[in-house]
Amino acid sequence: MKKLLLSGFAALLLVAGASAQEAGYDPVNAPFGHGEDSIRCRENLSLMQTAAKAEAYESALRPWNEAYENCPASSKNIYIYGPRIFKALYAAETSEARKKEYIDKVMEIYDTRMKYYGDEDARGTILAYKTYDYMELMGDNTDQKVVYDWLGEAVNEMKDKMYPLDAYSYYMVASLSQYLTDNSKKDQYISDYFKVVEYVDQAIANYKAAGDQSNADYLGMVKEGIVKAFVASGAGDCKTLNEYYADKVEPNKSDKEFLNEMLDALSSVGCSESDLYFTASEYLYILEPSASAALGLANKSLRDKDYDTAVKYYSEAAKLETDKNKSSDYMMQLAGIFSNQRNFARARSAAYEALEYNPNNGEAYILIAQLYASSANNIFSEPEKAGLVYCAAVDKLQKARSVDPSVAGKANSLINRYSAGYMDTETAFMMGIKAGDTVHIPGWINESTTVRLR
């Protein structure tokens, strides 16, 4: 550490007092220089590389500087090892002023690399590595505007040929940061999103065509992260997404991956009732029945008031879904729809189907209890017996809190409310009913319960 610190002081002199290149240096025809200069350049390169490979950066510093200043076009290793040397110095430094000088030096090295090796290595790639080192060195002080500008230049230049691959992701993080800091940049973020997704899609296709499934899969994960961030950002809305996908559905109606992505994007922002969503669902269902496609067709059937078809597709969506909790939720959506239509029997049937997928879905039992309570005055011909229906409702609420502690508060609140509707002791006595008796609840409920009185 002491040697590295000492070399750091030497580095300051090199950073601050670097000499200009010798007059007459020809980077194209004589990258090593001429005569003695050429010999010194080769010796310095050798010393630098040997030391840097051994991570002896204090020893690599001076020969690196000689090569960098006097024969900068002689070897790309100058630009590979240079940032490593100064990042090591940065890590050992305590002075903030000196740290800043080392950061500036690293950035300068990348700029020089673009000057001499911008044709051999894509300029966008060099810019990306420059940005990565900037983020590493700056840490929490990273200026996302700088990241956005540099990676934006790189990505827009290289498009679907961007490398390193995760530059797409870092660029979109910077774009999102710009939007979250300044909401007036919403359109910029949306534009960046659709542009980058298009680049990534083409890049994935390129890798697949070349037989490189590994990079194609990695880019798939990069894209997934970009899409999830976009959905969570709140920047996307129905109008924006519908306009974006409007002219893309027909050309991609045989592309299952595209259709799934589109349906996921639309549903994630509450756009699952648009004509575009239904059209994509129909195309996807033809290609390969899936939960998302069946759900789309179920929603379309509901819009058209074709309830029997809606039941069919909701049930199919639940069966096709690999996540049983989601399957249960699909059936609860259907149960809620029937409940709103006061079709209590069908609502209960859907709720029980939800419980088949997730026996611990307390909300399903709560809904059934609410259905019972809603029809309490219409089950018995004697109005006084309505209190017996509330007993059946409380049975479901007790079951709800026993299987799903998360709904206990809601269940207890309803139990308090419904128990106030129990038959009073005097009325029950007059009708020959005692607490603890088992009674049958007729009608669509058609089940037995234990009498409770107030």
Average pLDDT (254-281) is: 83
Q: What is the pLDDT of residue 15?
A: 55
User: Is the pLDDT score of 131 beyond 80?
Assistant: yes
User: Is the pLDDT score of 7 beyond 70?
Assistant: no
% pLDDT > 70, the chain: 95
User: Is the pLDDT score of 14 beyond 90?
Assistant: no
Q: What is the pLDDT of residue 3?
A: 46
Torsion, CA 244, CA 249, CA 254, CA 256, rounded to 10: 50
Using DSSP's 3-state secondary structure scheme, residue 454 falls into coil
Instruction: Give residues with Cβ within 8 angstroms of 281, minimum separation 6.
Output: 263, 292, 293, 294, 295, 296, 297, 299, 300
The lowest-confidence range among 32-46, 78-92, 123-137, 234-248 is 234-248
Strand partners, 10: none
Least Cα distance to 332 among 306, 278, 368 occurs for 368
Contact of 236 with 243, CB cutoff 8 Å: no
Q: What is the pLDDT of residue 212?
A: 95
Q: What is the pLDDT of residue 11?
A: 52
Q: What is the pLDDT of residue 2?
A: 41
CB-facing half-sphere around the CA of 364: CA atoms within 13 A: 25
**Residue 425: other Cβ atoms inside 10 A:** 13
pLDDT tens figures, 373-404: 999 999 999 989 999 999 999 999 999 999 99
User: Is the pLDDT score of 72 beyond 60?
Assistant: yes
Q: What is the pLDDT of residue 17?
A: 45
**Global confidence as pTM:** 0.59
Q: What is the pLDDT of residue 19?
A: 41
H-helix segments, 212-306: 213-233, 238-245, 256-268, 275-287, 291-303
Would the CA dihedral through 299, 304, 307, 310 be positive or negative?
negative
pLDDT tens figures, 133-174: 999 999 999 999 999 999 999 999 999 999 999 999 999 999
